[in-house]
Structure 1
Amino acid sequence: MKKIVIIGGGACGSAAFIELIVQICSLGLQKNLSVTLIERRNKIGYGLAFGTKQKSHLLNTQAKLMGIYANEPAHFEEWLKMKDGDKDEVKTGDDLSSAYTSRLLYGHYVSEQLGNYLQKAKEKKVTTEVINDEALDITRQENQKYIIRLKSSNTVTADYVLLAPGTPKPNKFSELRKYTSYIDFPWPSDRIKKGINKTDKVGILGSSLSAVDTVMTLVDNGHEGEIKLFSPIGILPRVQPSKNKSFNRKYLTPENVHKITRTKMRHPRVKELFRLYIRDVEEAEGEKMDWKKLDRTAGPVKEFLEYDIAAAEDGGDSLLNMTYSLRYDASTFWGWLSLDQKQLFKKWLGSHWSANRHAMPLHNAKKLLSLLESGQLKVIPQNRNIKYDEEEQVFKIQTAKGEVAQVKNLINATGTSSSLRGMDNDLVHALADKGYLKPYPAGGAVINPHSMQVISKEAGNNLYAVGHLANGILLDVDAMWFNVRTISRLVNEIIFKVKENGDIS
């Protein structure tokens, strides 16, 4: 019997477990394959992302796309309807399909589905095991089996290993960890609630969705003191409508992009894709646009947010809707770019793409606007350096204008690092040290984007990875709907490989 071990019992690990049980049972492979799930947290199915108890920590994707099953994207929406929706956990427009639920409610959904398939596996006599422990290292033996070393000093042997570690916290600003008033990651949110007094001046590093969640943690728990977001560029996420207006792309299409490769016999370039993007947006607007004015870097945050809220209430503007219309094609285009063009995209357009593609729910945007209007919240762009004044016991952040902002508490909400070494994860570092995970220059590890197999001579042929470890090879690894699709391909690959190797009669 071959053993498949999944490391990580969050949403991605749970989706992989479920898909494996479905495939094993449907193909009658109960005597050939077993599945083990390793999760360091006591509650499986939630992970870090969906275990937060803050009700204002919302999904940034509508319920109709959040199904845990690859070919049933609306399953979460159906589950909500069956549960009759907890109104306190659901922020919605007209119906549940356009709902933005709390992350915890989604965690309940994933955990329930995982529990269902643990029970189904038992009924169908699939050998399964759930281990509550942390994987620290993996060693490939000469017989091609993998030995997984756990924090408890126990070991687990596997024929196939799937890495699903979730979103690791970043190593950035690690030199500040020695100060008790510094919090190196917004999750779990109890660290913020217990470690910060309600009247303290708080600084938050970052201004993306992680930073927005951090603001929500503070204000939902009655924080009264000033909050400052320190951001390299000073751009908030844009605002996602309950229902986007439809957008018909004519120019930035797979056909047109492929035509560039076919006729010019080379990879498409970022400038070529952006020109097609511009043509689509300007045709929708019916006029030429001043694209330099659309650059929000260090701009008037409150004015932009007011505009974004109004646009979201009207179904979104052309720029936002164009970006969201690329949801199913963006990863294809990304795969057609050469490495140097991927790096150029991240440098040139990455922040602007992220602000439009990963917009915040309207519910939270309105709360941010209220905080900006009252003066409790400020966004400070282009911060230069951070120092802790031990005598005054404050953090001092220098800005591009030469000013120095002071805060008592500082929270790192910059989001996880794209590089392997920038991820604060012992297992990732151990595998990188051994060469099992090879760093990909655009981020994450070198992974086959079709099968999700880790590509490394040292790692062998049966190590796989999903989620943030593939952030450079793939593009939408923060989107659950995208991850469950890649997980489906991964499971099919493992089953096919096992069968072709003669391990199944």
Structure 2
Amino acid sequence: MKNLTIIGGGACGAAAFIELVIEICSLDLQEKLSITLIERRKHFGYGLAFGTRQKSHFLNTQAELMGIYANEPGHFAEWIKIKDGNRNEVKAEGSLSSAYTSRIFYGNYVSEQLENYIQKAREHNVKIKLINDEAVDIDRENENKFTIILKSSETITADYILLAPGTPKTNKFKELRSTKSYIDFPWPSNRIKNRVNKDETVGILGSSLSAVDTVMTLVDNGHTGEIKMFSPFGILPRVQPSENNTFTRKYLTLGNIHKMTRTKMHHPRVKDLFRLYIKDVEAAEGKELDWKKLDRSAGPAKDFLEYDITAAEGGGDHLLNATYSLRYDASDIWGWMSLHQKKLFKKWLGSHWSANRHAMPLHNAKKLLSLFESGQLKVIPKNTNIEFHQEEQEFKIETAKNGVHYVKKLINATGTSSSLKGMDNDLIHALLEKDYLRSYPAGGAVINPRSMQVISGKAGGNMYAVGHLANGFLLDVDAMWFNVRTISRLVSEIIFKVKQDGDFS
């Protein structure tokens, strides 16, 4: 009998476990494959992302896309209807399908589905093992056998490994960790609640979704001091409507991009793609636009936020909806681009793509605006240097545009690093050192994006990775619905390998 061990029991690990149980039972493979699930936290199915109990930590995707089953994206929305008694966990201005729920509510959903399939596995004689521990290293015994070393010093043998470690915190500003006034990661939120006085001036590094959640943690717990968000560009996420207006792309389509590729005999280039995007947006607008005025790094974040709230209340503007309409095609387009063009995309358009593609819920946007209007919140771009002054017990943050700022507490909410070396995870670094993982220059590990198999010098052919580890090859790894699809593909690949020992009947 073969064993597949999933390292990480958050949402991605849970989705993989569920899909494997379904396939093992459906194909009568109980005597061929067993499953081990390792999670370092007490509760399976939540992870950091969906274990937070802060009332303003909401999903950034509507319920209708968040089903844990790859071919049933609406399953979560159906589940919400059954649990409709808990309306304080749901923000819905329209139908429940377009609702945004709290992260913990989604975590409860994933955990419940996982528990259901743990029970089904036992009922159908699938051999499973659940382990509360942390994997810190892996050794490859031979061509197809691995030994997983746990933090407790225990070991596990596996034939297949799935790396699903979630989103590791970043190593950036690691030199500040010895300073008690510095919080290197906003999760779990108790770290902020227990270490920040309510009247202190707080600095937040970053202005993306993680930084917005950090602001929500502070104000939910009665913070009255000034909050300053520092980031390279000072761009906030845009605001997601409850329901986006339909946007039909005529130019930036997979068909047109493929036609351009076969005609010009080169893969799509950033400039070509952006020209097609401009044509789509301007066709919808019915006029040419001044794209320089749309550069969000050039103006006050508050002004853009006011505009975005109004636009979201009307179903979103064409710029937002054109980006939203790309959610199912973006990864394919990204996969067609050369490494050089991927790097150019991140350099030229990365911050604006992220702001439009990963927007914040309208509920949180309105809370941010009220903080701007009261003067409690500021977004400050172009931070250039950070120092901690021991005598004054405060941080000095220099910026190229707005002078020098001082804060008593500093929270790193820049999100995780795209590079493996920048991820603060002992297992990832151990695998890098052994050449079981190879860094991809555009981010994450080198993988086969079709099967999610890790491609390296020494890991062999039976190691797989999902989620943020695949961020360089797959653009949308921050979206749970997208990760569920990749998990379905990799499970199919593993099941195919397992069945090679049989007659495929």
Bin for the TM-score computed over the shorter chain? over 0.9
1:7 aligns with 2:7: yes
The residue number in structure 2 matching 1:391 is 391
Q: Distance in 2 between matches of 1:221 and 1:159?
A: 47
The residue number in structure 2 matching 1:358 is 358
The residue number in structure 1 matching 2:348 is 348
Written as runs of structure 1 = structure 2, the 5 A alignment for 1:241-390 is: 241-390=241-390
Q: Distance in 2 between matches of 1:402 and 1:165?
A: 38
Q: Distance in 2 between matches of 1:380 and 1:115?
A: 45
Q: Distance in 2 between matches of 1:27 and 1:331?
A: 31
Q: Is 1:32–1:504's contact at 8 Å kept on the other side of the alignment? A: no
**Higher mean Cα deviation, 402-411 or 211-220?**
402-411
The residue number in structure 2 matching 1:491 is 491
1:18 aligns with 2:18: yes
- What letter corresponds to residue 499 of structure 1 in structure 2? K
Give the secondary structure class of the aligned counterpart of 2:320.
Answer: helix
Q: Is 2:380–2:402's contact at 8 Å kept on the other side of the alignment? A: no
Give the secondary structure class of the aligned counterpart of 1:60.
Answer: coil
Written as runs of structure 1 = structure 2, the 5 A alignment for 1:66-85 is: 66-85=66-85
1:176 aligns with 2:146: no
The residue number in structure 1 matching 2:449 is 449
Q: Distance in 2 between matches of 1:340 and 1:76?
A: 38
Q: Is 2:64–2:77's contact at 8 Å kept on the other side of the alignment? A: yes
Distance 1:504 1:457, change over 3 A: farther
Once the two structures are TM-superposed, the CA of residue 144 in structure 1 deviates from its matched residue by: 2.0
Q: Distance in 1 between matches of 2:504 and 2:220?
A: 54
Once the two structures are TM-superposed, the CA of residue 207 in structure 1 deviates from its matched residue by: 0.2
The residue number in structure 1 matching 2:470 is 470
The residue number in structure 1 matching 2:400 is 400
Q: Is 2:4–2:36's contact at 8 Å kept on the other side of the alignment? A: yes
Q: Is 1:498–1:504's contact at 8 Å kept on the other side of the alignment? A: no
Q: Distance in 2 between matches of 1:264 and 1:93?
A: 47
Q: Distance in 2 between matches of 1:16 and 1:434?
A: 26
- What letter corresponds to residue 416 of structure 2 in structure 1? T
The residue number in structure 2 matching 1:200 is 200
Once the two structures are TM-superposed, the CA of residue 502 in structure 1 deviates from its matched residue by: 4.6
The residue number in structure 1 matching 2:460 is 460
Q: Distance in 1 between matches of 2:148 and 2:237?
A: 39
Q: Is 2:57–2:216's contact at 8 Å kept on the other side of the alignment? A: yes
The residue number in structure 1 matching 2:138 is 138
Q: Distance in 2 between matches of 1:303 and 1:64?
A: 31
Once the two structures are TM-superposed, the CA of residue 112 in structure 1 deviates from its matched residue by: 0.2
Q: Is 2:143–2:460's contact at 8 Å kept on the other side of the alignment? A: no
Q: Distance in 1 between matches of 2:82 and 2:402?
A: 56
Distance 1:30 1:371, change over 3 A: same
Give the secondary structure class of the aligned counterpart of 2:356.
Answer: helix
Once the two structures are TM-superposed, the CA of residue 503 in structure 1 deviates from its matched residue by: 9.3
Once the two structures are TM-superposed, the CA of residue 498 in structure 1 deviates from its matched residue by: 1.5
Q: Distance in 2 between matches of 1:287 and 1:500?
A: 58
Cα distance per residue 1:310-339 (max 9 Å; x no partner): 000000000000000001000000000000
Once the two structures are TM-superposed, the CA of residue 260 in structure 1 deviates from its matched residue by: 1.2
Q: Is 1:60–1:360's contact at 8 Å kept on the other side of the alignment? A: yes
Q: Distance in 2 between matches of 1:142 and 1:124?
A: 31
Computed over aligned residues only, the root mean square deviation of the Cα atoms, in angstroms, reads 1.0
Distance 1:271 1:85, change over 3 A: farther
- What letter corresponds to residue 444 of structure 1 in structure 2? G
Once the two structures are TM-superposed, the CA of residue 162 in structure 1 deviates from its matched residue by: 0.2
Q: Distance in 1 between matches of 2:45 and 2:146?
A: 24
Q: Identity rate of aligned residues, in percent?
A: 75
The residue number in structure 2 matching 1:224 is 224
Written as runs of structure 1 = structure 2, the 5 A alignment for 1:58-137 is: 58-137=58-137
Cα distance per residue 1:354-376 (max 9 Å; x no partner): 00000000000000000000000
Q: Is 1:7–1:161's contact at 8 Å kept on the other side of the alignment? A: yes
Written as runs of structure 1 = structure 2, the 5 A alignment for 1:410-449 is: 410-449=410-449
- What letter corresponds to residue 370 of structure 1 in structure 2? S
Cα distance per residue 1:174-204 (max 9 Å; x no partner): 0000100100000000000000000000000
Q: Is 2:381–2:401's contact at 8 Å kept on the other side of the alignment? A: no
Q: Distance in 1 between matches of 2:208 and 2:366?
A: 16
1:157 aligns with 2:157: yes
Give the secondary structure class of the aligned counterpart of 2:266.
Answer: coil
Q: Distance in 1 between matches of 2:144 and 2:171?
A: 32
Give the secondary structure class of the aligned counterpart of 1:56.
Answer: coil
Give the secondary structure class of the aligned counterpart of 1:24.
Answer: helix
Q: Distance in 1 between matches of 2:221 and 2:422?
A: 31
**Higher mean Cα deviation, 393-402 or 13-22?**
393-402
Q: Is 1:245–1:316's contact at 8 Å kept on the other side of the alignment? A: yes
Q: TM-score, normalised by structure 1?
A: 0.99
- What letter corresponds to residue 466 of structure 2 in structure 1? V
Once the two structures are TM-superposed, the CA of residue 150 in structure 1 deviates from its matched residue by: 0.2
Once the two structures are TM-superposed, the CA of residue 85 in structure 1 deviates from its matched residue by: 4.8
Q: Distance in 1 between matches of 2:165 and 2:117?
A: 21
Q: Is 2:184–2:411's contact at 8 Å kept on the other side of the alignment? A: yes
Distance 1:85 1:168, change over 3 A: farther
Q: TM-score, normalised by structure 2?
A: 0.99
Once the two structures are TM-superposed, the CA of residue 457 in structure 1 deviates from its matched residue by: 2.6
Cα distance per residue 1:85-117 (max 9 Å; x no partner): 511111112111110000000000000000000
Q: Is 2:334–2:342's contact at 8 Å kept on the other side of the alignment? A: yes
Q: Distance in 2 between matches of 1:211 and 1:411?
A: 9
Q: Is 1:298–1:381's contact at 8 Å kept on the other side of the alignment? A: no
Cα distance per residue 1:233-286 (max 9 Å; x no partner): 000000000000000100000000001111111111010000000000000000
Give the secondary structure class of the aligned counterpart of 1:297.
Answer: helix
- What letter corresponds to residue 183 of structure 2 in structure 1? I
Q: Runs of 5+ in structure 2 lacking a partner?
A: none
Cα distance per residue 1:379-422 (max 9 Å; x no partner): 11101100001111100000113611000000000000000000
Q: Distance in 1 between matches of 2:123 and 2:334?
A: 42
Q: Distance in 1 between matches of 2:67 and 2:147?
A: 33
Q: Distance in 1 between matches of 2:112 and 2:277?
A: 41
Equivalenced residue count is 505
1:212 aligns with 2:221: no
Distance 1:391 1:492, change over 3 A: same
Q: Distance in 2 between matches of 1:504 and 1:203?
A: 59
